[in-house]
Chains A and B, each alone.
Chain A
Amino acid sequence: MQPFTSHAGIAAPLLRDDINTDQIAPVLHARGLQEDYKTMLFHRARRREDGSENPEFVLNKPQFRNAGILVTGHNFGAGSSRESAVWSMLANDIRVIVAKSFADIYRENCLQNGLLPVVLEANDADAFIARVVAADGGAPFTVDLVTQRISGPGGADLAFEIAAADRTRLLEGLDDIGLTLKYMNDIIRWEQRAAMAQPWLQSAHDSR
């Protein structure tokens, strides 16, 4: 996993709650194993009915075309567990999402891929949103995971909280499977205990 230390980029405001993974990474009719995640991101919102670009959508506006930070409302990433909703962000060089809250599975998928999910408390979130809107893509913000601060135009640095373990994993770009493999002996011992205590959990046979 690509480590995350700090990311400077234009912050694009997508100020709605409950944006779901069907919106972020829609299931498109024609698809294959090698998908174009760059094009997939907000595929429908980015286009008008005739297929041409929708100039109203925030990521299509000239000042936000190369946004590196997405700023949004509550419960971002609701719905399906599809990880393409994270991969499509990364394919567009968006490495930070600042939200009022995240859907549980989406947040986990972010952590698995080095996409930094930042949650700001209500007051801070509103203040930050105001600054993002005022900046209007004119100057970048920097999100620094080492110092846990967001800096940029329109005011003082904002501190944000993140669980220490999540922070370390992102900073070091740790391989999640590798982390767990260190406990393989414990896992095997658990299996041996479970095979005694509840053997039906440790085997799954078709009795037919």
Chain B
Amino acid sequence: MQAAPPRTLFDKIWDFHCVGQRADGRDLLYIDRHVLHELHAHHAFTKLQKQQRKVHRPDLTFAVQDHTVATQPGRDDDTNPSGSAFIKAMRDGCERSAIRLFDLGDPDQGISHVVAPELGIVLPGATHAVPDSHASTVGGLGALAFGCGTSELAHILVTQVMALKRPKRMRVRLDGHLGPHVNAKDVALRLIAELGVAGARGHAVEYAGTATRSLPIEQRMTLCNLNIEMGGRSGLVAPDGATFAWLYGRPYVPQGAQWDRALKVWRTLQTDDDAVFDREVGLDCSSLEPQITWGTDPSQVVAISGRVPKPSAVEPARRAAAESAFAYMGLAPGTPLAGLPVDRVFIGSCTNARLPDLETAAAVVRGRRVAEGVTAMVVPGSSRVKREAEAAGLDRVFRDAGFFWGESGCSMCAGGNGDRGQPGERCVSTTNRNFENRQGPKVRTHLASPATAAASAIAGRITDVRRLMVGAA
């Protein structure tokens, strides 16, 4: 008998979930877990009602209120007036279709990409879809995830499959050891800088290598979260002992004998030794400094000790974009990033608002004060993260330093809930997109890690956290 050809982890998950090929040549890929949010779901609910179609598997479908919810303490449906219609439509739609909604006030409410993993709704080897481009955050657990549009969302509701063309396979090997105060956010920003905002377009990405293996689960999620910023719809990390330990005992994870059985399957979720990828890239992380964006797309990145590039140093095809970014960001070529005065700091979002992100930021903030004139916010990624942070006293650390401590939601990442900066403000943000006007008209966003954001809030300037922490315990 001939041995089965070696396969990548992506292929194993895809092949298992492929129901068949549709007449038009697309693969019908079964979606094990579908999570909706209120900004896009109502379009799909309305469409289904009009077409008199039903949700096929409400028991595998979950919903959160995250994009439009206010972050003020004591919030309700109407605290953000432009969100209330979305929030109510979501509630009605979920009730009609018997979908479990993590509503405002629910102890498990939060950002979909934070809630689904922390409850164990998403599992290794599972397929997952969210009408949001950062769906592949859960790739950090070894799940294969797809961000999708509203029509695809309706399609999944009715059929529980997506009709997809099989993407190509790409492997990113991360090797070496991350230095102090350097984490997955810095790695991802450097990768996007190297590969470009379309570097993974058309590919499903597997992150591998010793540096990936040594990342805690939450940082693997940060890495996979930013996969879309280099154009990749899906990104994942093969699950390992750390993944299984992280998942064990979470509410929706299989229990008892089922857990043992699942574990046997999950241990096979690895890329075979001789499997072939369409593209392979590598990055040695050993000498990596903290990274920060200087421009208006997530590939315009320099090390924290770096300077805004000179146009001559930018490849010709990217020069016009760089010129436009200089103007929008109010930065002359050659300006050092460190030392730039900041007006606002935002620590939050599906990228960087899990408990360890907040612990990292709090370790920098502890015993210090936010600089005069800086508006600083922390918005936990979920209500559970918020509770756990409060139990550990982190809210006090942030509040005592002068940070706003908010209720969970997407908040200033896209500003869909009214949390926005003022025109002209320079904002260091732990989010995923530094696009023009995203965090408010004319707001100048610099993407960075939670540690860099915290250090910059304290100093009132973009700051190398390693310098701030010199001599600190």
Contacts and interface: CB of A to CB of B under 8 A. Distances in A.
Interface string B252-288: 1111001001100100000000000000000000000
* Interface of B, helix, strand, loop or mixed by DSSP: loop
B23 interface: yes
B235 to A, nearest CB: 12
Nearest to A106: B149
Chain B interface extent, by class: 35 or more
A18 B201 CA distance: 12
A165 B166 CA distance: 14
A105 B420 CA distance: 26
B201 A103 contact: yes
Interface in B134-167: 147-152, 154-155, 158-161, 163, 165, 167
Interface in B430-457: 433, 435-438, 441
A146 interface: no
A176 B155 contact: yes
A18 B322 CA distance: 12
Nearest to B255: A207
Contacts of B231: 75, 78, 103-104
Interface stretch (A131-139, A152-160, A194-202): A194-202
Interface of B: 19-20, 22-26, 28, 30, 32-33, 40, 42-43, 51, 53, 56, 59-60, 62, 82, 85-86, 89, 119, 121, 123, 125-126, 131-133, 147-152, 154-155, 158-161, 163, 165, 167, 197-198, 201-202, 231, 233, 251-255, 258, 261-262, 265, 297, 317-318, 320-321, 414-416, 418, 420, 433, 435-438, 441
B433 A22 contact: yes
B149 A180 contact: no
Nearest to B32: A201
Contacts of A201: 32, 123, 125-126
A18 B19 contact: no
Given A33-B85, A113-B151, A204-B252, A80 B414 contact: yes
Interface of A: 16-18, 20, 22-23, 26-27, 29-33, 44, 74-75, 78-83, 86, 101, 103-105, 108-109, 112-113, 163-166, 168-169, 176-177, 179-184, 186-187, 190-191, 194, 198-208
